[in-house]
Structure 1
Amino acid sequence: MRTFVHLLLFVAAIVIAVGAFGPLVGSVDARNVQFDDIRNGFTNGWSLDQIGSHTGAFPTSLAIVLLGVAVVILLAALFGSRLAGWVGVLVGLATLGVLAWRLDDHFDHQLRTDYHHLLLSDTWGLYLVGGGLVVTLLLLLVPRERRRAI
């Protein structure tokens, strides 16, 4: 990989790691969403504010997956592995996709009527994680450096 690709992948990994601790939707952080919520759906009768105030175990939260994605992208930047970069991007996008699917499954009406407040104000974690993944995806599409024949 080219030198600027290594440097920007390193920055993107840091941005994703910082975004893992920020709010994703409304007051819901990645630390508030547990693997059980992703697997079985959110508890019926709970609102987004109740999920945002719910604290669970950190090792079983969605933040661990996002931090793992950041580590894999960081390793791809350090060692120049495009395969590791692609794995990190695909896992990160799949994680955000499954979270969006589960939120839409349970909070469809609330997200449609109050999307301006929930998605456009104070969701810097979602913007950092999503932006870091998109930048990483674009960086992985940069062609490799050609070797000069001597």
Structure 2
Amino acid sequence: MDYMKEKPVDDLSSTQHKIRISLTSRNVPALEKTCQELMNSARDKNVMPRGPVRYPTKTLRITCRKTPCGEGSKTWDRFQMRIHKRSIHFRSTSDVLKQITSVSVEPGVDIQVTQFASVMPNRLVSFYPMETSSATSIVQPYLA
């Protein structure tokens, strides 16, 4: 499989990666403040961030009876929790990512950093093999 040959990498810290930072919280002001700090930190490092992308709010609802024993009038409590989510996308090296994410985070804000495959400049990344002859040679013995 010549299309899957490993290529030596001289310096892993100099390769650029696609990075997504996902932030979730129940507290909107804390979430927006953390997003703004991450965006400012990225701009200070000359990285052009995209976002914050605002996702629809998830509303989790629970309806339960007020009385624990089941006696009395049928009264109900309704509880709900709203979860807000934002994501920021950018491309940078691993060293710059560590500097960007070193900002202080508000309590109650969860951060998830996802790093995708490295970005090679001026190259088309294909997920499918370029040669299909190897696939036909595997199928032919079974057809005979």
Q: TM-score, normalised by structure 2?
A: 0.29
Q: TM-score, normalised by structure 1?
A: 0.28
- Determine which structure has more spread, i.e. the larger CA radius of gyration: 2
Q: Which has the higher helix share?
A: 1
